[in-house]
Amino acid sequence: MQWRPSIIRTNCLAIESDIGVILIDTGPSIKSPQKTGTNKFYQNLKLKANRPSPLSRRLATLDIDTDSVKHIVLTHLDLAQTQAIEEFPNATAHVFGSEYIAAMAPATQREKNRYAHLKNLNSHPRWKVHQVQGSQWFGFDAIQIFEELGDHIQLIPLVGHTWGHCGVSIKKGQDNWIFHTGDAFFHQRELRLANPNAPWRIKLARYLATADQDSFFFNQERIRKLIQDKPSQIELQCSRFDPKY
Ligand SMILES: [Zn+2]
C-alpha cells in the first residue's frame, strides 16, 4: 500500500491504497464554506480559524481525481470534518457507531444543532457504520475498517469531544504510525505532559464543543502517555493544528 499524507485544512489526510484513495475527514465544501454551527461560534470568538482550501482543489494539486476517492474515514461528524462529503460521489463514508447514532438521532437540541449540516447535504453519502471488535492498538480499542488492509487503517475510539469521536491510526511502516486524533486536542499546549493548557478562548470553545468532559480529558491523557512512550513510532496529527509547530 502506498500512502501519501497531505495536510489540508481541517487537517485531512489522503491515502493512496490498493482499494482506491481513502480520505481521513473532508473539511468544508466549496459551495458553502463555514456558514453554520461551530464555525460561526468560532468566528464570534474571533479565533483565527484556519480557513481551509477546498479539499478537492488540494487533491487536484496531488493529481488525485475526486472520482478516485472510494472511502472517507471520519473522525466525527462535525461540520468541519464532513461538509465536503458530497464532492466525492464514489466514496463510502465510514463512521463509528456511537457517532452515527448521535448525529442521526440527536438526543438534545444542542446535538440537533450540532449535526444539522448533515441534513443539508444535497446527496446522502453511503454510510458504513463500525463497532468495536475487540482488537487493541497500544492499549486503545481499535476497529479495522477495511478487511483488505488489515491493521493499516483503524478507527480508534476517543470519545469526549463527541459521543462517538475517534482517532484514526495509519500504519506507514513496520512499526511506525500516523495517529490522527481529530478534535481530541484544540491547541499545541494541550500536548504538554506537564501542565497542559490552552488560551482561554480555546478552552471556552473546547468546553462548549465537548459532549463528555471527563472522557475528553481522560483520552487526552492516554494520548499524551502514548506519545511519551512511543515518540519514535507515533506521528501525531490533529484536526485544528500541526503538532510539529
Ligand atoms: Zn469537532
Per residue in 166-219, pLDDT (tens digit) is 999 999 988 999 999 999 999 889 989 889 999 999 999 999 999 999 999 999
CA angle 45, 47, 48 (to 5 degrees): 155
Domain locations in the chain?
13-237
If you measure from the C-alpha of residue 43 to the centroid of ligand 1, how many angstroms do you get, rounded to a whole number? 15
Per residue in 13-57, pLDDT (tens digit) is 999 999 999 999 998 776 554 444 444 544 444 444 444 347 888
If you measure from the C-alpha of residue 69 to the centroid of ligand 1, how many angstroms do you get, rounded to a whole number? 23
Locate 163 and state its grid cell. 459521543
If you measure from the C-alpha of residue 183 to the centroid of ligand 1, how many angstroms do you get, rounded to a whole number? 5
If you measure from the C-alpha of residue 174 to the centroid of ligand 1, how many angstroms do you get, rounded to a whole number? 31
If you measure from the C-alpha of residue 10 to the centroid of ligand 1, how many angstroms do you get, rounded to a whole number? 10
If you measure from the C-alpha of residue 49 to the centroid of ligand 1, how many angstroms do you get, rounded to a whole number? 13
The pTM (predicted TM-score) of the whole model is 0.86
If you measure from the C-alpha of residue 162 to the centroid of ligand 1, how many angstroms do you get, rounded to a whole number? 7
Query: What CATH number has the domain spanning 13-237?
Result: 3.60.15.10
Per residue in 215-234, pLDDT (tens digit) is 999 999 999 999 999 989 99
Which pLDDT does position 245 carry in this prediction?
66
Locate 203 and state its grid cell. 478552552
Sequence-separated (6 or more) residues with CB below 8 Å from residue 111: 102, 103, 211
